[in-house]
Amino acid sequence: MLLSNIESIPGKQIVAHFGLVQGSTIRAKHIGRDIMAGLKNIVGGELAGYTELLQEARQEATNRMISQAQQMGANAIVNVRFSTSSVAQGAAEILAYGTAVRVE
Amino acid sequence: MYLIHFGVFLRLLFLGFVFGRESEKQHFKELRKRELRWKRVPALTGRSLVSDSPIKEARLVTGSVVVSVDYFKRFLTSIRVIFGGEAKSYSPLLERGRREALCRMKESCPEAQLFLNCRLQTATLFNGQGKSTGSVEVIAYATAVVYARTEPIVRLGK
Q: How far is C-alpha B37 from the geometric centre of its chain's CA atoms?
A: 17
Predicted pLDDT of residue B52: 78
CB contact under 8 A, A41 and B134: yes
- The pLDDT of residue B70: 66
Low-confidence ranges of chain A (pLDDT < 50): none
Interface contact A55-B64, CB threshold 8 A: yes
Contact yes or no for A37 and B135 at CB 8 A: yes
Q: How far apart are CA B151 and CA B8, in angstroms?
A: 58
Nearest Cα to A11, choosing from B95, B153, B5, B58? B58
The mean predicted confidence, pLDDT, of chain B is: 81
Put simply, the answer to whether B70 touches A44 (Cβ < 8 Å) is: yes
- Cα atoms found within 13 Å of the Cα of residue B129, Cβ hemisphere only: 18
Contact A54 B64 (CB under 8 A): yes
- Residue B158 confidence (pLDDT): 54
Which residue of chain A comes nearest to B52, CA vs CA? Answer: A11
ipTM: 0.80
Give B-chain residues touching A56 at CB under 8 angstroms: none
Instruction: Give the pLDDT of residue B130.
Output: 46
Give the Cβ contact number of residue B142 at 10 Å: 27
pLDDT for A98: 95
Contact A10 B58 (CB under 8 A): yes
Phi, psi for residue B94 in degrees, rounded to 5 = -70, -35
CB-CB neighbors (< 8 A) of A88 in chain B: none
Q: What is the pLDDT of residue B128?
A: 47
Chain A positions in Cβ-Cβ contact with residue B145 (cut-off 8 Å): 10
The model's pLDDT over B96-125, given as tens digits with 9 standing for 90+, comes to 889 999 999 999 999 888 899 999 999 887
Chain A residues whose C-beta sits inside 8 Å of any chain B C-beta:
2-7, 9-11, 34, 37-38, 40-47, 50-51, 54-55, 58, 80-86, 89-90, 92
Q: What residues in A contact B68, CB-CB < 8 Å?
A: 37, 40-41, 44-47
- Residues from chain B contacting residue A81 (CB–CB below 8 Å): 119
Per-residue pLDDT tens for B51-103? 778 888 889 999 999 887 666 777 777 788 788 888 777 788 888 889 999 99
Contacts across the A-B interface (CB distance below 8 Å)? 132
In angstroms, what CA-CA distances link A15 with A5, A7, A76, A81, A100? Answer: 18, 13, 11, 22, 11
Task: Give the model's pLDDT for residue B40.
Answer: 83
